[in-house]
């Protein structure tokens, strides 16, 4: 059944309103054939999120996940920010994520294969998926990223989507820099972005003078 056929069925079933659901179905059907990275989970209903925390060399990382995927990886500035929902449990996927992060910071891992999923618009999903194609130890400018997505004029939208990424390090938004090679911005702070880039550059090239 095509997109128009699905619309007709939906309209007969729900003739009064339901505009939001109608729009969501349209987006899912329209973009269902987009090429995505293997570790992205297909569109699904968000399950209840559990949390655990990992003290990395550059700060505490908050790991949010379910039985199926990781949906959040972000820095917190203090232990007092650590929270646990009722019924919280550390799932095998979250344990796998923690183990892979330890390997990454030890210099023993360059690619993450833990399953991930985060809500976003179709454009944001395209940007996040493209970030996964940036090799370990390499950087790309916001302009080049926009060009790879087929629209050099979308550089501001690309930068905004990059900033909305909720799964840092695994979805390596830190590898995107300014056209003039400046660090520009990073939700975890420029000091962490510099550390991550130098850490990767050192493992690949044996030196630590990228910035």
Q: Is the dihedral of CA 75, 148, 115, 138 positive or negative?
A: negative
Per the structure, the count of domains in the chain is 1
**Active-site residue list:** 173
- 190 lies in a domain? yes
Using an 8 Å Cβ cutoff, are 61 and 101 in contact? yes
Which tens digits make up the pLDDT trace of 40-77? 555 455 678 999 999 999 999 999 999 999 999 999 99
Using an 8 Å Cβ cutoff, are 43 and 30 in contact? no
- What is the CATH classification number for the domain harbouring 143? 1.10.10.10
- 40 lies in a domain? no
Backbone angles phi, psi at 89, to 5 degrees: -145, 150
Using an 8 Å Cβ cutoff, are 70 and 101 in contact? no
Report pLDDT for 206. Answer: 84
Chain centroid to Cα 122, Å, comes to: 13
User: Which candidate, 42, 175, 51, 50, places its Cα nearest to that of 118?
Assistant: 42
- 185 lies in a domain? yes
- 59 lies in a domain? no
- 163 lies in a domain? yes
Q: Which residues of 42-61 are buried (b: 16+ CB within 10 A; e: fewer)?
A: eeeeeeeebbbbbebebbbb
- 165 lies in a domain? yes
- 157 lies in a domain? yes
Report pLDDT for 38. Answer: 54
Report pLDDT for 210. Answer: 61
Report pLDDT for 1. Answer: 52
pLDDT averaged over 10-residue windows placed end to end, the chain, 211 residues: 46 40 35 46 68 97 97 95 92 98 97 97 97 96 96 96 97 96 93 96 79 62
Q: What is the pTM of this model?
A: 0.77
Written in H, E and C, the secondary structure of the chain is CCHHHHHHHHHHHCCCCCHHHHHHHHHHHHCCCCCCCCCECCCCCCCCCEEEEEEECCEEEEEEECCCCEEEEEEECCHHHCCCCCCCCCCHHHHHHHHHHHHHHCCCCCCCCCCECCCCCHHHHHHHHHHCCCCCCCCEEHHHHHHHCCCHHHHHHHHHHHHHCCECCCCCHHHEECCCCCCCCCCCCHHHHHHHHHHHHHHHHCCCCCC
Domain ranges, residue 128: 122-205
- 134 lies in a domain? yes
Report pLDDT for 205. Answer: 85
Distance CA 98, CA 93 (A): 9
CA angle, residues 195, 196, 202, in degrees to nearest 5: 85
């Amino acid at each position: 059944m095509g997109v128009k056929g699905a619309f007709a069925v939906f309209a007969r079933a729900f003739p009064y309103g339901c505009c939001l659901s109608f729009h969501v179905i349209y987006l899912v059907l329209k973009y269902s054939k987009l090429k995505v990275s293997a570790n992205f989970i297909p569109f699904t209903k968000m399950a209840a999120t559990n949390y655990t925390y990992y003290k990395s060399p550059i700060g505490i990382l908050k790991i949010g996940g379910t039985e199926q995927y990781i949906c959040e990886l972000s820095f917190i500035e203090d232990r007092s920010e650590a929270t646990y929902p009722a019924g919280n449990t550390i799932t095998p996927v979250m344990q796998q994520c923690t183990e892979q992060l330890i390997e990454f910071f030890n210099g023993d891992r360059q690619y993450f294969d833990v399953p991930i999923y985060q809500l976003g618009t179709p454009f944001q999903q395209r940007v996040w998926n493209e970030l996964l194609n940036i090799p370990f130890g390499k950087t790309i400018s916001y302009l080049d990223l926009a060009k790879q997505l087929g629209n050099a004029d979308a550089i501001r939208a690309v930068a905004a989507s990059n900033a909305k990424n909720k799964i840092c390090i695994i979805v390596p938004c830190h590898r995107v820099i300014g056209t003039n090679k400046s660090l520009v911005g990073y939700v975890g702070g420029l000091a962490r972005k510099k550390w991550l880039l130098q850490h990767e550059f050192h493992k690949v090239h044996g030196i630590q003078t990228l910035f």
